Structure 1
Amino acid sequence: MKPANAVLKHLLLRDTGIEVREGSCRIAGAVLPNGSFVVVMDEFWHPLIKRSTMEVLSNGCVVVGCSEYDNVNTSLAFLYREGLQQWQVTHTLDEGDDHLAVEGKPPQLLAGILAQAKKDRREKGYDAVFGVPASLVQQICGFRHRAHPELRFTELVPIPILAHPYIAESLLPHVEPVLLAKGFTKVSSGDDHQSFVAKTDQVDIRCDFVHGGYPNEGGAWVTMRFSVLNHYVQALSTGVPGRGHSLTYKRNFDEIVGGAFSIQTADDLAEWTHKIDSRLPAVIDQMHSIQGLDALANDGSPRRGFFGDPTLSHFDTETGLSRLVLAYLASNPNFERMVAETDAECYGGASPKNPVHEDVAYLKAHAKPVG
């Protein structure tokens, strides 16, 4: 179950706190006795309940919905769980008095509700099947439109969505001064990106500030992609003949500090600017030392393979075994475990001829921890 504030944030709605009667405004919300949050809209198949929105909203909870249009006697109900639609039932009178299209696997109690509705239609002569979707939803979540006068509804209003150009223009003045103060030089610039490079005797760092808009939803996605080449780590990583990798470390700023890379509202923008102002200088400083790079590269966050699947391997195509080199040089207590995980994941078990062990043997023979 998601709290009301989480639902509102995802739906980009703001609670005005103004008490209203259900149905007296475009969008209203209330907390049900069981703790669930209900949102009522004055439009059939409102844009807020489109599939993509419901899929994301239902991550970590169950979302059940109902939509009715009296003028054409059309109604439907649906349920999403963990990002997937589980079922949908739809009645359209034009398709027949007893029409009810079923997708997925709705609850078994639907059969009894539908049977009673058909009986009522035959005996009382009205479109009773029209109410089946709403009755099904009521049985599941305990709510039906206009059936609960005791609930306290407040008016909800859409949060303004920021334009992509405005977002980019607002963020760059926070990003660029930090980078320039840390010795970066701007090397390229375009409508959707700015690239900066810093070089010392020990390390080369590149930062690509890249952004793009969402044509349909508004807002923008923004990322700062850091690519680091530590010369000492690179020399050790390529010491074994046949090895060769161009980078020591590569990761996006939003992955380092946490949080979404999507910006739509003023609150999103404020959160991003705060993270840039408060975290970016320290993150850059970490990239200049072995210990700092090890803390960034081996922070314990979940790893993904080439196809995005979870993996225990500490090898990837762009940085090779640099994470292991960093762990060794920084005296990371997890170094031996990381070697074993990478060996098992990539090669199925320990063998002196495995590339992992060849590299580790070379590392131990030619380098000592620096920390």
Structure 2
Amino acid sequence: MGISLAWVAVETLPGELALARLSLSKTAKQCGYPFIGLVSHALPYNWFLLAASRCDHRIASPASMAAISLGCRAVACAVEEHVGFASCELWEDGKRSWSVAHDGSEDPENISFEGRVPQRFHALVASVEGEDSENFDGHFHMDIPLILAKELSGFRHDDINPAVDDTPFDVLHDEQGVRPWWRLWQ
């Protein structure tokens, strides 16, 4: 089946401010990982994570990333495992610095990028395993955006990480698009 996930990690921005910039609020609920819905979590090294159980969730949209990255850095990552899609973007002070994406539905060895990607990107592309490789200690094209996102923020959705896994996630409420039940037709 595979995971469908969008996540954003923002550096040095207090969690409450990150939530406010995206019109999100904490509920009184907590949950573990994997989760369903929208959650937040403090990460080590002064990063704050927002994650949604849909790879196309608005938290990783250009408008959201421009808002959340004002005055700081933010990483957006989207993963749709069942079709072999992964992407990563770095935003700084409201602007996208670079992006990397792999779309396995187009080609299993597809990798695209825009902007001034880190030198590490080129090293990862040069050392990628071939499609038919059985070396599971190596990395594949789909891993490249995920590796870059982890190297920036310290988070990768499919890693075992006690700092993240052993602490509950805060369940969030999305304030955008909320309408009273009697206005469902609008």
Q: TM-score, normalised by structure 1?
A: 0.41
Q: 2:40 aligns with which of 4, 29, 40?
A: 29
Offset at residue 128 of structure 1 (A): 2.0
| Alignment gaps of 5+ in structure 2 | 1-11, 180-185
**Paired AA for residue 73 in structure 2:** V
Offset at residue 56 of structure 1 (A): 1.8
Partner of 2:149: 137
Kindly indicate whether residue 23 of structure 2 is the aligned counterpart of residue 7 of structure 1: no
Q: 1:154 aligns with which of 170, 181, 186?
A: 170
Partner of 1:278: none
- Find the aligned partners of 1:94 and 1:156 in 2 and give their Cα distance: 32
Partner of 2:4: none
Partner of 1:40: 51
Runs (4 or more) in structure 1 with deviation over 3 Å come to 160-163
Percentage identity across paired residues of the two chains: 21
1:1-371 matches, within 5 Å, as 1-116=12-127, 118-119=128-129, 121-124=131-134, 128-147=140-159, 148=161, 149-159=165-175
Tell me if structure 2 keeps the 8 A contact 1:23–1:41. Answer: no
Tell me if structure 2 keeps the 8 A contact 1:113–1:136. Answer: no
Tell me if structure 1 keeps the 8 A contact 2:84–2:103. Answer: yes
Higher relative contact order (CA 8 A, sep 6+): 2
Tell me if structure 1 keeps the 8 A contact 2:60–2:77. Answer: no
Q: TM-score, normalised by structure 2?
A: 0.78
**Paired AA for residue 149 in structure 2:** V
Tell me if structure 1 keeps the 8 A contact 2:32–2:167. Answer: no
Instruction: Say which one has the larger Rg.
Output: 1
Structure with higher helix content: 1
Tell me if structure 1 keeps the 8 A contact 2:88–2:101. Answer: yes
**Paired AA for residue 14 in structure 2:** P
Offset at residue 22 of structure 1 (A): 2.2
Tell me if structure 2 keeps the 8 A contact 1:62–1:82. Answer: yes
CA 101–20 in structure 1, closer or farther in 2 if over 3 Å, else same? same
Specify the SS of the correspondent of 2:170: strand
Specify the SS of the correspondent of 1:68: strand
| Alignment gaps of 5+ in structure 1 | 164-217, 219-371
CA 124–16 in structure 1, closer or farther in 2 if over 3 Å, else same? same
How many residue pairs get matched? 163
Q: CA RMSD of the aligned region, Å? A: 2.3
Structure with higher strand content: 2
Tell me if structure 2 keeps the 8 A contact 1:90–1:102. Answer: yes
Specify the SS of the correspondent of 2:173: strand
CA 9–97 in structure 1, closer or farther in 2 if over 3 Å, else same? same
Tell me if structure 1 keeps the 8 A contact 2:22–2:67. Answer: no
